[in-house]
Amino acid sequence: MNVSYNASREAPIVTRDSFRVPRFILLPLGLLLWAIGVSETNTTNIGLYGLLPKLPLIFYIGIMVLIASAGLEFAQSKLSELRLGLHATSLVVILYGTAPLVYSQARYAWFYKTVGVVQYVGAHGSLDRSIDIYQNWPGFFAAASWFGNVAGAGSPLDYGKWAQLVFELAAIPLLYAIYKSLSLPVWHRWLAIMLYMGSNWIGADYFSPQGLSTLFSLGIMAIVARWMLVVDLTGPRKSGARALPFIAVLLFLFFVLTASHELSPYILAIQLAALAVTGIIRPRWVALAAAAIAIAYLVPNFSYVNNHYGLLSSLGKFMSNVQAPTPGSGTTVIEPRATKIIADSTDLLSVGIWLLALVGAWLRRKERRIVLGLLLLTCTPILVLVGGAYGNEGVLRVYLFSLPWAAALAVCALAPLRPGTDNGRGALRAIVPLALAIALFFPSFFGSDSSDAMTQGEVETAAEFLQTAAPGPILGPNSNAPLSDTARYNEFPVGAIFGSGGAWGTNPVTPDIAAFLARTMVHDFGGQPAYIVVTPSNRTYIEAYGLIPIDSISDLLASLSKSPYWKLLVNSNGTTIYKLSAAVNKIPTGTFAQNLVMGVP
C-alpha cells in the first residue's frame, strides 16, 4: 500500500494508489469463494427452485466480489484489456461451469436424444434420413461422431455436460472481434460481452446442433464485421480482392451451419439480407449467396419437414408462431409459485435487455450506420416467425440471435460519455445492470433444475436397458427422461401417457389404466415388445409444472404392479420399467372399445 505523510501533522495520507493491491486480489478472491461454494454444494433432493437454494452463501458472495472487482476495473482511467478479459472469462466459468461441476450427469432430457443420434452415426457410419429430422441435418452429429473417434473421447455422455462452458468461452473472442470491428470503445466491448454472458439464459448452448450453430453464426458475423462492413460511404471499402478469401470461408461456414441446424441459417440469412439491402455490408451478393445455400438445402428436405411438422400450415401465422413454449400439454392442476417466479425472471431479463437496447439506440442515434446495423441485427430475427413457430421455440431462437446486438446497444445506454473522467459513475453504470442481469439469470438458467437435472442412477439404468432390451415402443408419464441416448435410439419410439397428446390424456387416473395402456400398445404397435418407463425426472417434471396431480404416477405404478398385462423388468435407482406380457392377448376388448367410443380411457 502506498502511503504518504504530511510533514507538519505526521498523519498518513491515503492516495489513490493505496487501493491498488486490494483491487488486484478481488478477482482471485471471488473465484476462490465460488470454488469453495461449488465444493460445498449438495444437489440431492433438489426442490422446485432448482439449484438456487442448494448453492451456499459463500458461492453468491464470490459472485458479488467478482462483480465488484469488474466495476473497479471499469472505473479506472486507463482500462486494462487483459484484466477485463480475465473478468469476462471468470464470469463465464462461474455461470456455465457450475452445473457440470455439481452434477454428475448433463442437464436437459433433450441432450440425451442428441447423444443417441451421435452414437447412431458412429455405430453405422451412415445416415438414415427416414428416421427423424436430426438425420436430415447431420452436420453436428457427423462432426461429434468424428471427434469421438479421433480423440478417443468415448460416449458424449462422458464429456457432453461441459459443452455449455466450452461454447461460451469460445464465444468471447468472436464477440470481441465483432465489437472491435464495430469501433466500439474498450469499456463498451467488455461490458457488452459480460452482459451477453449474463443474459443468455436460453440454454441452447448445450451439446447440440443449436449450440454449435450459435458459435458458427458469431464466427460468420465476425468475418462480416471485419471484412464487409461499410461504416463510412466516403471512405475506403473494406471488401475487395483482399476480402475474397474470407468471404469464401464465410460461405463455407454458412454451408456447414445450414447442414447442421434447421432454423439458424434462415435467421442469419435474414440478418445478412437486411444489412445488404441498407448498404451496411458489401458486396451485397454475399447475402444472396447465403440465402441460396439455405434454400437449396431446404428444397430436398421440404417434403419431410412439411409432412412431419406442418411447415405450410404455420406459414404466415405470426401471432400464433410468436407464442412461447409451454412446459407441457394439458390443463395445469396447480402452478407452483416457483414456476411463476422462474417464468417472470426470464421475461424480465429478456424484455429488460431489449428495452435497454432501444434506449441505447436512441441515445447514440447520431452514430447512424453503426446504430442502424445493430438495430437491424437485433430486430430482424423476429421475421423468421412469419415462416413458422419451430415447435413454439422460435421466439427463444429470436432472442438468442438478437442478444449479441441487443447487448451492444444496451451498453450504449450505460457507457459514460467520456470514459475515464467519471470513474465512480462509470463503475455504477457497469455493475448495477450487470448485477441485475445476473440476479435474473440464476433463476432463469438454474431454476428448472428440479426437472432439468438427471440423476446418475436413472441415466445409467436407462442406458443399460436401451442397450440390452428387445426393440419396442416406450411410454412414460411425460417425455422428460434421459432416454434415447444409445445407437439404438430409433428402435425405441417414446410417447407420453399424460397430457393432451398422451395416451391417457388429462383424465384422472383410475385402477384400469394399466389394462388400457396394454391394449393401446397392442392396438397401435401390434404384438411387438412394449414398455412403460418411469424415472425420477418424470416425477419432478410433474411436480415442477403441476400438469397433473402428483399422485398420478403412484396410481399408475400401483395399477401396473397389480396388472397381469405388465411384467416388472427393472426397479433400480428410482427408475421402474415394465414390459408388456403375453397375457395381453387375453384382455377383454369390450370395455376398451366402449371407452373409446365414449372418448375417455
Residue written as grid cell 480482392:
241
**H/E segment holding residue 594:** helix 590-598
- Could you tell me what percent of the chain has a pLDDT over 90? 65
pLDDT over 50 (residue 8): no
Separation between Cα atoms, residue 354 and residue 361, nearest integer Å: 11
Beta bridge partners of 417: none
| pLDDT at position 155 over 80 | yes
Helix ranges (H only) for 392-452 are: 394-412, 423-446, 449-452
Res. 379: pLDDT tops 70? yes
For position 305, what pLDDT does the model report? 83
Planar angle of CA 97, 98, 100, nearest 5 degrees: 70
Encode pLDDT of 554-579 as tens digits: 999 999 999 999 999 999 989 999 99
Chain-centroid distance, C-alpha 90 = 20
> Taking 90 as the threshold, does the pLDDT of residue 130 lie above it?
no
In 3D space, the residue among 495, 514, 592, 501 whose CA is nearest the CA of residue 553 turns out to be 514
Measure Cα distances from 98 to 31, 287, 299, 440 in Å: 12, 39, 42, 16
Per the CB < 8 A criterion, the answer to whether 72 and 23 are in contact is: yes
* Nearest-angstrom CA–CA distance, 200 and 440: 11
| Residue 116 to residue 118: CA distance in whole angstroms | 5
Instruction: Average the pLDDT over each of 33-42, 323-332, 574-583 and give the range with the smallest value.
Output: 323-332
Query: Which run of H or E residues covers position 448?
Result: none
257-276 pLDDT, tens digit each: 999 998 999 999 999 999 99
Q: What is the mean pLDDT of residues 297-321?
A: 75
The larger pLDDT score, comparing residue 547 to residue 365, is at: 365
Strands 575-580 and 566-572: antiparallel
431-457 pLDDT tens trace: 899 999 999 999 999 999 999 999 999
Closest CA to 278 of 239, 231, 246, 341: 231
At 334 the pLDDT is 67
pLDDT value at residue 315: 67
Please report where in the chains the cell 401396473 appears, as a residue.
Answer: 560
Look at the alpha carbons of 594, 581, 576, 133 in this order and tell me if their dihedral is positive or negative.
Answer: negative
- Across-strand partners of 5? 12
Handedness of CA 33, 35, 41, 46 (dihedral sign): positive
| DSSP codes of every residue in 36-83 | HHHHT---TT-BTTBTGGGS-HHHHHHHHHHHHHHHHHHTSSS--HHH
Whether residue 514 has pLDDT greater than 90: yes
What pLDDT score does 419 carry?
A: 53
> Cβ(533)–Cβ(581) under 8 Å?
no
- Nearest alpha-carbon partner for 576 in 526, 523, 514, 487: 514
DSSP track, 288-330: HHHHHHHHHHHGGGHHHHHHHH-HHHHTT-HHHHTPPPPSSSS
pLDDT at 233: 52
What does each C-alpha distance from 549 to 159, 495, 499, 586 come to in angstroms?
36, 19, 12, 31
Separation between Cα atoms, residue 22 and residue 369, nearest integer Å: 42
Per-residue pLDDT averaged across 164-192, rounded?
A: 96
pLDDT above 60 (res 13): no
- With cut-offs at 50, 70 and 90, classify the pLDDT of residue 394: confident
285: which residues sit within 8 A by CB, 6+ positions away? Answer: none
Q: Are strands 575-580 and 531-534 parallel, antiparallel or unpaired?
A: antiparallel
Q: What are phi and psi of 207, to 5 degrees?
A: -65, 95
pLDDT in tens, 213-250: 999 999 999 999 999 988 655 444 555 567 899 999 99
List, in sequence order, the alpha helices (H) in 107-185. 109-124, 139-151, 156-159, 163-181
Give, in order, the Cα–Cα distances in Å from 575 to each of 189, 303, 452: 48, 39, 16
Q: Pairing relation of β-strands 474-476 and 494-496?
A: parallel
Distances (CA, A) of 419 to 22, 79, 510, 577: 23, 9, 68, 63
Cell representation of residue 359: 434506449
Q: Which whole number is the average pLDDT over 7-30?
A: 61
